[in-house]
Chains A and B, each alone.
Chain A
Amino acid sequence: MGFSTPGLLPFIALAAIPIIIHILSRLRLRHAPFPSLILLRTVRRERFSWVRLKEILLLILRTLALASLLLALARPYLTRSIPGIGQATDIIIVIDDSYSTTYADRWENCLSAARKLIRSIGTDRKVILLTASGQIQQDKPVPRGPALALLDSLRPTSLAPKLDSVLKRASTIAESIKASVVVITDRQERSLSSNWHADPGVNITLLDIGSDTFNNAGISRLYPEDRFAAAGKPVRIKADIFNYGSREVTRTAALSLDGQKEEKVLKIPPRTRRTIIFASAVSKPGTYVGQLELRSDSLGTDDKRYIVVHLPEKTHILIVESASITGRYVSDALTADSAARFQVDLVKVKRFSRCDPRNYQVIVIMDPASLKASDWTRFGFYLSSGGAGLLMPGLVPADTSRIGPYIRSFGLVRPAGFVSTSEIDTTHPILERIKLTRLASARIWQYSRLDAKGNLVLARLSDHNPFILENLAHRLIIWAIAPTPEFSDFIYKAVFVPLLHRTVSYLAQISFRTEYIAGDTIRLQLDNSSALVVNTPKGRIRLEPTTRRGRPTVTLTNTSLPGIYTFKSETENKIFRTVAVNPLAEEGNLIRFSSDRLKSQGIQLYSGTLPESADFTVPLLYLAAAAFAAELLLLF
């Protein structure tokens, strides 16, 4: 016999309250004169025996109700040992509290299994509880009672942590205190890396609370239809819905965006992704918050996803041209858009020093070789403070060192005939909608042979030399040609304008993230040192900035709940940033790893059924309720 919350046992003494009250009321009975007891004698003769009996019955029932209730709070149970799970040692219980365990009744099964395990051990043995998310991280073993109490406070998270690190930690503790490890999980495929292996000498047993059959669909992605959304053009929302289960499902997806609500019903075949586009759209400049909800599904966490759409005002671009390389073609291409998303200023290189770079989101330098050292210094400050640049090397001089700190060129190449684009990275946002055939139609008869070291190659020419590079250290894109007729006929091709637009939009818009995954750390650089207040789904948090890389920075680590997080300036009450925190979509995939894999990883799968522990809490509560009901019946 044990108690889950033995700390409440002394309160059972409170059951004596009715008896004490009864005795006190007897002792302090009021005496009063009465003219004649003639009538009362006749009444009392009839009532006396029943009244006395009723009084005693009431006293017994009250005491019983109170004692049962108080005993139930201590949660008594009968101890039953579980064969095969380290009976002689202390036990480390690792609980998988990722959101996949909230599917159907898995979480209840998880807690129930943990309780049975704790109750199965002898009174002389202790328990350490660990969770994958880290919400419980015990270092020292505790007796059964506190462990059970701790278990009651445990809630499933919206996170998707893997078991690798917590199992490593459990193994380390197990080795030091000679304990056995039991991990309770739904055995989801992604929960344990396939290359993870148990330390020899550590006994790890897995209690499986999952099942091979499941029926779950979830939102795997929610994003604007156009990656480079801008004001003036309606931006619609797309969503990817994945049916992870083995049967076709019908779900209703409901989007709410900027006060608009829209629902779509969709049928999704098993193990298939469906993409839907909503007609709801936003077009005015501003920041919009949206939420998509998938109805009638069993796993709730991946059925809700948030989105923040930021539509900027016009993008200000500075084009720096030299005497030999004109910026007219680039300027014309950028302003050709009827929506006029870009505001372009074209200046000669000698006037670059008079421009304030802070006024521009992107600076396009047509002929980097023409920049003076002081111009490069200013440009460097601009980049390191968050600015973006597009470099288009023109006529590269013989002394390549003068080309600037961000480009290494091996000189100008004039191939026999021409080259064209032969290879592009279609996964990159700039090129994801650009067709290689259209890009390859442009003929290039002169280009700079760029050094790809330290850069990401987005496109290559037919002679394998880089055509478009992305600098990984800065927000910087480098083309191998200047868009002038001296280099190619690229400017006359239809693909030139969209490629230039996407490049500039990409550089202008990746300035901040608007989506994070639950559990991520959100780190924002600020313009000043005033504190921020964050509205989170859990409530308001005040963040004091710290200096990081020379700039005031706020860091938010508590992002365990999905939702919209709004960062406001404490002094100006102005929204600084709005971001969406979403659950990791992959956690919704409940496919499990095989028991063979478990064996190979050195984990033993518990095959028996855990004995039902005799928990007296509920019967005692029923007893208390029955006693209370009987008391009421007697009273009325």
Chain B
Amino acid sequence: MYAHNSRKATTRFLKPEVVAKLKSIDLKARLVVEGFLAGLHRSPYKGFSVEFAEHRPYMPGDEPKRIDWRVYAKTDRFFVREYEEETNLRAYIILDSSGSMGYKTGGITKLEYACYLAASLAYLLLHQKDSAGLVVFSDRIDTYIPARSSPAHLNVLLSQLNKLRPGGDTNLAGTFHQLAERIKRRGLIIILSDLWDDRARVLSALRHFRHRKHEVLVFHILDPNEQKFTYRSPVVLKDMETGQDMTIDPRVVRTEYRASFEAFFRQFERGCREGLIDYHLLTTDTPFDRALLSYLARRQRLR
């Protein structure tokens, strides 16, 4: 009962509308990750990030807590325990900041959701001593921050995420091909996008990453209304990227739109599965733990 309540209390902070209320993106990332890990009932740093290497004599400046008291008891000398990093995973978070990502019908835009998720992932990666990089793109690559593992790198990533604004057209396939060529060392590619582009070309570009031996994790981020199409009365819709208008009667097109969306989603899902790419559809009202769990599952397979 206690465990259940504790889980409930922590996952409450994984809801996008709760996270959005915090001012600092640093806090947001920490809240998401700590809350998520606390919910898992496991120590965040246990087992997979660091391994014991050797003992060395205590030097002034070392933290007293690192002194191995058992060795002291046997030898009457101070030794400290040395650890070494288990892996050197390089992860690139590729974030779509095109105009369409600025859409929202509920609490937060798709871009905000993607930023919080990216921040959380970066926080988690760097606390596991992995290196994390960030690519922000619209119709071209706007920002490219190479992957690093230093704790200070988190601030670089978070400050970059914090100032992102939606804008511009989308060129997913071109950008992905470009990045596939640019990122030399194999690693984990995490894509956060609404994927509003030519499906075949996007899938082809994602396979390019795989071809370059990268592991690919795609978070397809959408607003709930894009999936359900809940307009009630006739409306003039304006494309947020091209600016084109279209007058529609939702009562007439809703069913076919939903069918069309389902086909669109299924095609991505099937294409990714065939290309051994992890694909997850997230709407902006989905709690962050679902995305983080997907990441962790992928991370476990990489060990």
Contact = CB atoms under 8 A, between A and B. Distances in A.
Contact of B253 (A31, A38, A44, A55): A44
A42 B36 CA distance: 40
Given A37-B246, A38-B196, A43-B257, A32 B235 contact: yes
Contact of B196 (A31, A32, A33, A35): A35
B75 interface: no
Interface string A30-55: 11111111111111101100010011
A43 B238 contact: no
A35 B226 contact: yes
Interface string A10-46: 0000000000000001000111111111111111101
B238 A33 contact: yes
Contact of B234 (A29, A42, A54): A29
Interface residues of B, number: 32
A223 B223 CA distance: 87
B264 interface: yes
Contacts of A32: 231, 235-238
B300 interface: no
Nearest to B199: A38
Q: How large is the interface on A (under 10, 10 to 19, 20 to 34, 35 or more residues)?
A: 20 to 34
B244 interface: yes
B260 A39 contact: yes
Nearest to A25: B234
A433 B246 CA distance: 101
Contacts of A33: 103, 237-238, 240
A32 to B, nearest CB: 5
A77 to B, nearest CB: 41
A39 B240 CA distance: 14
A34 B240 contact: yes
Interface string B247-274: 1110011001100110010000000000
Nearest to B242: A37
Given A35-B223, A39-B257, A44 B248 contact: yes
Nearest to A40: B246
Interface string A450-490: 00000000000000000000000000000000000000000
Interface string B91-105: 000000000110100
- Which residue of B233, B253, B264 has the most chain A CB atoms within 10 A of its CB atom? B253
Contact of A31 (B236, B241, B260): B236
Contact of A34 (B103, B233, B261): B103
B239 interface: yes
Given A35-B196, A37-B239, A38-B196, A46 B256 contact: yes
Contacts of B260: 39, 42-43
Contact of A51 (B101, B223, B249, B264): B249
B235 A31 contact: yes
B257 A36 contact: no
A47 B236 contact: no
B194 interface: yes
Contacts of A51: 249, 252-253
B256 A30 contact: no
A36 B253 contact: no
Contact of A39 (B110, B233, B261): B261
A36 B252 contact: no
B233 A30 contact: yes
Contacts of B234: 25, 29-30
B201 to A, nearest CB: 12
B223 A40 contact: no
A227 to B, nearest CB: 79
Contacts of B242: 37
Contacts of B196: 35-36, 38
B233 A35 contact: no
A322 B77 CA distance: 159
A238 B245 CA distance: 89
Contacts of B253: 40, 43-44, 47, 51
A29 B236 contact: yes
- Which residue of A25, A39, A51 has the most chain B CB atoms within 10 A of its CB atom? A39
A55 B241 CA distance: 30
B236 A36 contact: no
A59 to B, nearest CB: 13
A37 B261 CA distance: 11
Contact of A40 (B101, B240, B241, B248): B248
A35 B110 CA distance: 10
A51 B239 CA distance: 21
Contact of B247 (A29, A42, A54): A29
Contacts of A30: 233-236
B256 A35 contact: no
- Which residue of A33, A35, A39, A43 has the most chain B CB atoms within 10 A of its CB atom? A35
Contact of A44 (B233, B245, B246): B246
- Which residue of B223, B234, B241, B244 has the most chain A CB atoms within 10 A of its CB atom? B234
Interface in B171-209: 194, 196
Contacts of B257: 39-40, 43
A44 B226 CA distance: 16
Contacts of B223: 35
B172 to A, nearest CB: 12
- Which residue of B235, B244, B248 has the most chain A CB atoms within 10 A of its CB atom? B248
Contacts of B240: 33-36
Given A39-B260, A47-B252, A51-B252, A34 B237 contact: yes
B235 A35 contact: no
Given A47-B252, A51-B252, A31 B238 contact: yes
Contacts of A41: 246
B248 A35 contact: no
Nearest to A635: B251
A38 B263 CA distance: 13
- Which residue of B233, B237, B240, B245 has the most chain A CB atoms within 10 A of its CB atom? B237
Contacts of A54: 252
B178 to A, nearest CB: 22
A46 B231 CA distance: 20
Given A30-B233, A30-B236, A44-B253, A36 B100 contact: yes
A29 B226 CA distance: 20
26 contacts: A29-B235, A30-B233, A30-B234, A31-B236, A31-B238, A32-B235, A32-B237, A33-B237, A33-B238, A33-B240, A34-B237, A35-B196, A35-B223, A36-B239, A36-B241, A37-B239, A37-B244, A39-B257, A39-B261, A40-B253, A43-B253, A43-B256, A43-B257, A44-B253, A46-B256, A51-B252
Q: Which 6 A-B pairs have the closest CB atoms?
A: A35-B100, A36-B196, A34-B237, A35-B103, A43-B256, A31-B236
Given A31-B245, A44-B248, 16 more contacts: A25-B234, A29-B235, A30-B233, A30-B234, A33-B240, A35-B110, A35-B239, A35-B240, A37-B242, A38-B196, A39-B261, A40-B246, A43-B256, A44-B253, A46-B256, A51-B249
Interface of B: 100-101, 103, 110, 194, 196, 223, 226, 231, 233-242, 244-249, 252-253, 256-257, 260-261, 264
Interface of A: 25, 29-44, 46-47, 51, 54-55
